[in-house]
């Protein structure tokens, strides 16, 4: 039996597709899954919660993907650091607090982590992705496909470059 290769990246995407643009994370997760790349471990959920600490791995970078009403326009990549905050509950947690929980629980440094913010504008119950958001999703997808076309050992540097303000790896 052949061993599966260790993933080069963990993607954790969350959101609620019944709330319009909040579904950005799941939409992009399915697109990434469609690539069929064994180097990417994909986790999709309605919200980020403390149990996701078990989806993180030592020395495997993590890319969180979520909708954001706080950015304009389109998308940006943010480098994250572990940070305790008031977001931890049994139902949700920030990516930074999840990284801090990883360190606290496992006694090891958290993996390198990035957050892909994609601009969302309409979060009403029953809304579909609005046209402006679909444009942002497609631009973020272009970035991701360019990133994943690179050799696996360069994905981290591509994420790092994007977090420094570059638009493509």
DSSP state of 85: -
Tell me the domain boundaries of the chain.
Answer: 9-163
82-133: pLDDT as tens digits: 998 765 555 578 999 999 999 999 999 999 999 999 988 877 787 888 888 8
65, two tokens: 């993907």
- Homologous superfamily of 9-163: HybD-like (3.40.50.1450)
127-161: pLDDT as tens digits: 888 888 899 999 999 999 999 999 999 999 999 99
Model confidence, pTM: 0.90
DSSP state of 68: E
Report pLDDT for 168: 43
- Smallest CA-to-CA distance from 15 within 5, 6, 1, 26 is with 26
Interior/surface letters 85-111, b for 16+ CB within 10 angstroms, e for the rest: eeebeeeebbbbbbbbbbeeeeeeebb
């Amino acid at each position: 039996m052949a061993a599966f290769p260790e993933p080069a990246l963990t993607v954790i995407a969350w959101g609620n597709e019944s709330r319009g643009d909040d579904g950005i994370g799941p939409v992009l997760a399915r697109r990434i899954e469609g690539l069929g790349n064994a180097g990417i471990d994909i986790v999709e959920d309605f919200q980020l919660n403390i149990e996701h600490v078990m989806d993180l791995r030592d020395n495997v970078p993590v890319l969180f993907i979520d909708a954001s009403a706080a950015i304009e326009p389109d998308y940006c990549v943010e480098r994250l650091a572990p940070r305790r905050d008031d977001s931890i509950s049994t139902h949700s947690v920030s990516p930074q607090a999840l990284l801090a929980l990883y360190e606290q629980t496992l006694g090891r440094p958290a993996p390198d982590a990035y957050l892909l913010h994609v601009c969302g504008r309409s979060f009403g119950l029953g809304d579909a992705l609005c046209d402006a958001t679909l444009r942002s999703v497609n631009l973020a997808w272009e970035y991701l496909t360019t990133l994943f076309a690179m050799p696996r050992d360069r994905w981290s540097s591509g994420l790092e470059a994007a977090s420094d303000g570059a638009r493509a790896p």
